[in-house]
Every structure is written in C-alpha cells, then in structure tokens.
Copies of this chain bind each other. A is one copy, B any other.
Amino acid sequence: MIIDCHGHYTTAPKQLEEWRKRQIAELEDSKHAPTKGNLGISDDEIRASLEGAQLKLQRERGTDLTIFSPRAMGMSHHVGNETTSRHWSEHCNEMIHRVCALYPEKFVGVCQLPQSPGVPPANCIPELERCVKEFGFIGCNLNPDPSGGYWKEPPLTDKWWYPLYEKMVELEVPAMVHVSASCNPNFHGTGAHYINGDTTAFMQFITADLFKDFPTLKFVIPHGGGAVPYHWGRYRGLAQDMKRPPLAELVMNNVFFDTCVYHQPGIDLLLKVIPADNVLFASEMVGAVKGVDPETGFNYDDTKRYIDAIDWVSRADKEKIFQGNVKKVYPRFKPTGAKR
C-alpha cells in the first residue's frame, strides 16, 4: 500500500472560493455580522472535482491513498479575525470530511486550524477536536506564521503553543508544519515562503527543549524538510557548537520529512541523509508545480517515480517510507476502507 501523506484539496468546486471571496468582501462592511452560511456544493460536484485530478493521478501513479487537507495557500490566516478563520476553516474541513466519506479508500482527513494572528493557538482546540472526534481526521496543519510572511507569532517552541500541543498529544495527532500564502512581497509563496517555513521550524526545534516537554509530539516538515537535508552537516554542526544533543536524539523521534522534492538528485540526497524512519512518502499533488519536466517526460511532482528509481534503498526501508511510518506518525490512521 502506497500512502501519500501530503495532498491538498486544491481542486474544490468553485463555490468554496466564491464563499471565501464573499467573506472577505464582507469584512469591509463593519455593520455586517459574519455568518457561516452554506456552500451549496453537491456530492456530484465533489466527485467531479476529484475524478479528473487527484483520483486520476493516484491511479496513474500507483498511489493508493492520500492524507488530505484543505488547500494550504487558501488557509490565509492573515485575513480578517478569529471568526473569519473559524468559519472558513469549518467549511474547508467539512469539505475534506465529505471527500473522505465519498472515497473512504482513497482519502483520510487532516484539518486546517482556525488560527488568526495574535490569537492563542489554544482557541483552535474545539475545531481540532471536532475534526478528529466527529470526522475521524488523523492530523492537522499548523501554520507557524499566521501573519503570512511577517513572522510575528512566537517560535513553535514557545509556551504560547503548548495548550494546542497538549491536545494534540492527548488526541494522538501530529501536525504538518505548513505556512500559507505570503502577503510579504519578498516571499514568493511556494518558491520561498513554504521552503523558508520548513527550514525555520526545524531550526526552532533544534534550539529548544520542546520534545523534552512533549516526548510523543510529532511534526511532519513538508517539502522535503525545506533546506534542512541539503544542509544536514550545518545542522549537525550547529547543534554540536551549541552543546545540544546529537540530532538523532534531539529531534528525530519527533520530526519527520516528506518527499515533496521534485527531481531525482534531491530525492537521492534526502534518502541518503535522513534515516528511512524519518521519511514519509508525499507528492503534494495537485499542488505547487503542475508541469511535466522536459528532462524526464514526467510530472515534476510524480515523486514516487524518483523513489522507485533508487536501487540502494532496501525494500524494508521503502516500505517504511511508503506506508510503515504513517502508522507510527499518525496513530489514528486505521485501515477502514476495503483495501485497508
């Protein structure tokens, strides 16, 4: 079984985006009381949005199941206030729930959190609990920068985040550390802000004792860990200079990297440097890079192909990467569908 741990619902029916546009427009009107309302999306429209996209690509590429969450760029926690994010997150998560109910063999849910700049992460707990307990979701996406490129919240190792972590530990759900859209003109979203967010989070984890406080807390750092595996010697050396424990002991029971690296040499490096126990297969399709690589004739984001091409990773290690580690990182992942 091949599990893709990182997919977003980037192809949702247009009513979702239209609802969001109305919500944002209404923020301008101070007399308007925000309401959640309805999306008016049918099951058939959901099916149509997936059949020619994620489901087609799963079939073509030979992946069985995607751990699926709302569009990352769409989270845009910097927009509006806490209520804005709450209504929007609820809609987005309900869409994921409907997808998973329609295709229980193909998708398992991960939720967007209703974060908002300056608002305590503890306020996200009700939505996290709803998604896990009512919808059967198995994780959440945590945005380390709800400001959208200005990095105004405390680091992820700060006690500011602890109440949310306590709940994550209690529920046995990991978080993927995933920024959203950048409203800072310096940072291209998928080309800079995403990758910087990954690198930043990892370095935060090195410098603090978060995992002493939460030994079972788990994070997935997407996009192949940002710059981290490429600079693995730098991170080992920085930890050493700071008299921190070796990385294996310091973070590697708690931090995992996905395989969203879109060329063979990058995947080769990732699998050479990071232990197979800490790598989870992912492609983030349909996502940041949609084209076909003229050097290979295949989609850049067809990451399974790169892993398949490697003959120096053992079958046992590939099994961990493709499915075994999922069961470790996402303890709530259960084989409920027919194929599982």
Interface residues of A (CB under 8 A from B): 144-145, 149-151, 153-155, 184-188, 190-192, 195-196, 199-200, 203-204, 206-207, 223-224, 226-227, 229-238, 240-241, 261-266, 268-269, 272-273, 288-291, 293, 300-301
**Is B241 a contact partner of A291 (Cβ separation < 8 A)?**
yes
5 A-B residue pairs with CB within 8 Å = A153-B186, A192-B200, A195-B234, A230-B269, A234-B289
Number of copies of this protein chain within its complex: 2
Q: Is the CB of B232 within 8 A of A203?
A: no
Docked CA distance A266–B227 (Å): 10
Residues of B within 8 Å of A230, CB to CB, are: 224, 227, 229-230, 261, 266, 269
Are A272 and B265 in contact (CB-based, < 8 A)?
A: yes
Which B residues lie within 8 Å of A238 (CB)? 188, 190-191, 288-289
**Which of B144, B192, B268 lies in contact with A203, CB distance below 8 A?**
B192
Q: Considering the chains assembled together, what is the distance between the CA atoms of A196 and B228 in angstroms?
A: 11
In the docked arrangement, what's the CA distance between A226 and B290, Å? 23
**Assembly CA distance A301 to B233 (angstroms):** 9
Q: Does the CB pair B262–A237 fall under 8 Å? A: yes
- Of the candidates A154, A199, A232, A290, the one having the most CB atoms from chain B within 10 angstroms of its own CB is A199
Which 10 pairs from chain A and chain B are nearest by CB? Answer: A233-B263, A227-B227, A233-B262, A237-B289, A230-B230, A191-B203, A237-B300, A196-B196, A192-B203, A188-B203
CB < 8 Å neighbour of A233 from B204, B206, B227, B266 = B266
